[in-house]
Amino acid sequence: MIRSYVADLHVHSVLSPCAAVEMTPRNIVRHAAEYGVNIIAITDHNACDNVTAALEAASDSDVTVLPGMEVETKEEIHLVVLFEKMRQMKEWERFVEAHRSGRLNDEKRFGAQFVVDAGDNLLRVKEEMLLTPLTAGVAEVSAQAAALEGLCIASHVDRPVYSLINQLGFIPPDVILDAVEVSRRVKPQEAARLIPAIGGLPVITASDAHTIDDFIDGPKITLFLEKPSLAEIRQALRNQNQRKVVV
Ligand SMILES: [Zn+2]
Ligand SMILES: [Zn+2]
- Span 122-165, pLDDT tens digits: 999 999 999 999 999 999 999 999 999 999 999 999 999 999 99
**128 class by beta-carbon count within 10 Å (0-12 exposed, 13-18 middle, 19+ buried):** middle
93 φ/ψ angles, rounded to the nearest 5 degrees: -60, -40
Ligand 1: centre distance to CA 156 (Å): 7
Cα end-to-end span (Å), the chain: 21
DSSP β-bridge partners for residue 114: 125
Ligand 1: centre distance to CA 187 (Å): 18
pLDDT value, residue 36: 98
Q: What is the mean pLDDT of the chain?
A: 97
Q: Does the pLDDT at position 170 exceed 90?
A: yes
- What percent of the chain clears pLDDT 70, i.e. is strictly above it? 100
**Cα dihedral 233, 25, 87, 149 in deg (nearest 10):** 30
> pLDDT-derived band of residue 207, with 50, 70 and 90 as boundaries?
very high
Average pLDDT over residues 38-64: 98
> pLDDT-derived band of residue 99, with 50, 70 and 90 as boundaries?
very high
Ligand 2: centre distance to CA 129 (Å): 16
> pLDDT-derived band of residue 42, with 50, 70 and 90 as boundaries?
very high
Ligand 2: centre distance to CA 1 (Å): 32
Measured from the alpha carbon of residue 68, the closest ligand is: 2
Ligand 1: centre distance to CA 240 (Å): 28
Judge contact between 4 and 36, C-beta under 8 A: no
Residue type at position 71: V
Average pLDDT over residues 172-191: 96
Interatomic CA distance for residues 144 and 51, integer angstroms:
20
**Cα dihedral 102, 106, 109, 111 in deg (nearest 10):** 90
Judge contact between 190 and 165, C-beta under 8 A: no
The answer to which of 76-80, 185-189, 220-224 has the lowest mean pLDDT is 185-189
Please state the CATH superfamily assignment of the domain spanning residues 3-246 in this structure.
Answer: Metal-dependent hydrolases (3.20.20.140)
pLDDT value, residue 129: 95
> pLDDT-derived band of residue 101, with 50, 70 and 90 as boundaries?
confident
